[in-house]
A = this chain, B = another copy of it.
Amino acid sequence: MSHVIENKKKLVSRIRRIKGQLEAVERSLEADADCFAVLQTLSACRGGLNGLMGELVEGHITEHVMQNARSPKSSQDKAALELIKVMKTYWK
């Protein structure tokens, strides 16, 4: 999973941020905090998770599905780059 190795630190820190948000939601629930604040934090969590998912799917396509992502010549590789463009609308 070379696409992970290269930016592992960045990916792990994104996961920790989402985990931190979840822990904030847990504390709010335990403290019967304001419902709206909980919903806002959870929404941010959801956005973070969507973005992380998008980045990992993109990495899966470039590193594992494509034949040569650094110099995409084949019709398959060009179609894979098109796929990434279309999928971005799902995790913006």
On chain B, the residues within 8 Å of A47 by CB distance are: 89
Q: Per-residue CB proximity of A40-82 to B under 8 Å, as 1/0?
A: 1011011101101100110111011111000000011001101
**Shortest beta-carbon distance, A62 to chain B, in Å?**
11
Is B76 a contact partner of A64 (Cβ separation < 8 A)? Answer: yes
Is A35 a contact partner of B56 (Cβ separation < 8 A)? Answer: yes
What is A's interface to B at a CB cutoff of 8 Å? 1, 3-5, 8, 11-12, 15-16, 18-19, 22-23, 25-26, 29-30, 32-36, 38-40, 42-43, 45-47, 49-50, 52-53, 56-57, 59-61, 63-67, 75-76, 79-80, 82-83, 85-87, 89-90, 92
